[in-house]
Amino acid sequence: MHNLPPLARFGGLLATDLRDVTSDPAALDSRGFWAVVADFEGGTVCARFGDVRSAPVPAPVPGAWRGPAPEDWDSSLDRAAYTEGVRRIRRHIAAGEVYQVNLCRVLSAPLPDPDAADVDALTALLARGNPAPYAGTVRLPAHGVEVATASPELFLRRTGRTVESGPIKGTGRSAADLLEKDHAENVMIVDLVRNDLGRVCETGSVTVPALCAIEPHPGLVHLVSTVAGELAAGAGWPELLAASFPPGSVSGAPKSSALRVIERLETAPRGPYCGAVGWVDADRGTAELAVGIRTFWIDRAPPGPAGGGAVLRFGTGAGITWGSDPEDEWEETELKASRLLAVASEVQQPTGRATR
């Protein structure tokens, strides 16, 4: 559906009438309403829309989304490669190079009808099957951006000069599953986010209003903390993103060391997964960017003699610490993925084994 009009949808807001597209985050300090998709690897697309109005997510239309067959999903790291990656990270921790690393894998499956693949129709299914506080669509086919997210995690919220982040670390089927390891991991990432925001916030303004709160989501629970601060004079979106990106909860600590380990171990680019997806209202000085987890995106092959193909991608991962068990971490990535893949593949009763 390359001829579908550009749009962005976040919660009860629908943005249409595309006016401008840029990769320069300084535009977010100008004027207008912007949709933002930032890849984990650093590429950013900022799209300004002229018409923003209240509009609920439409109910799913039967047949509007044709997802991959459940058995067609492949993983960039299979079980053996992922658990070996966990063991290698533990060796890096033992050597004192890192404290925590988020190890991810990207799942991919061909779409059976690329011309009819509309991420906004997928968003409608996700809203019914996996409602999330930072759900949304960014559909910019001409710019290679087709993203549907059901993210539960706040990356950056801005209200004037106040900035807030809500890192998630610690996942289980219920609160009883959360271990001391999960709490320790959350505290490590809170310290990292405090340091990130401290680089661009007024000295002494960075606080932690909530630490390790238990937050329920469909099929699982998370440990969530809140870090807040007041932006220093002269700091705008370029400075804020440079200081805080990629999100600490999906990289590791120390961040620079964790990113080097990730580059060595992961075999596929994360793209918008673990990046940022959200909106900035430059006129009102408000914004809400989610961490791009629980996020689908479409990769399209250039049209050729046989036509163009399209692949649906989805990422899943886990935070690895010294206390990590390789098999348990693999199971965590399965838990995070199974419900979402079932929705995208239109399986009515998701099972714990939705990937291979």
pLDDT, residue 3, reads: 79
Q: Cis omega before residue 303 (within 30°)?
A: no
Cβ-contact 83, 75 below 8 angstroms: no
Residue 128 C-beta-side C-alpha neighbours within 13 Å: 15
Token duo for residue 198? 């401290």
| DSSP reduced 3-state for 353 | coil
Q: Pick the catalytic residue from 146, 169, 255, 334.
A: 169
The answer to whether residue 336 is catalytic is no
Q: Which residue in this structure is represented by tokens 């990730």?
A: 262
- Which residues in the chain come in under a pLDDT of 70? 1-2, 303-308, 348-356
- Condensed to tens digits (0 to 9), the pLDDT of residues 32-43 reads 999 999 999 999
354: Cβ contacts below 8 Å, ≥ 6 apart: 70, 73, 334, 337, 338, 339, 341, 342, 345, 347
pLDDT, residue 10, reads: 97
pLDDT, residue 169, reads: 87
pLDDT, residue 301, reads: 76
DSSP annotation of 281 reads E
Please, which residues bridge with residue 231 across strands?
A: 201
160: Cβ contacts below 8 Å, ≥ 6 apart: 285, 286
pTM of the model: 0.93
pLDDT, residue 303, reads: 63
The CATH T-level fold of domain 7-59+76-344 is Anthranilate synthase (3.60.120)
Token duo for residue 156? 């950056």
CA dihedral 310, 126, 355, 64 (to 10 degrees): -40
pLDDT, residue 310, reads: 93
pLDDT, residue 308, reads: 61
The answer to whether residue 288 is catalytic is no
Domain boundaries along the sequence of the chain: 7-59+76-344
Q: Pick the catalytic residue from 153, 185, 230, 332.
A: 153
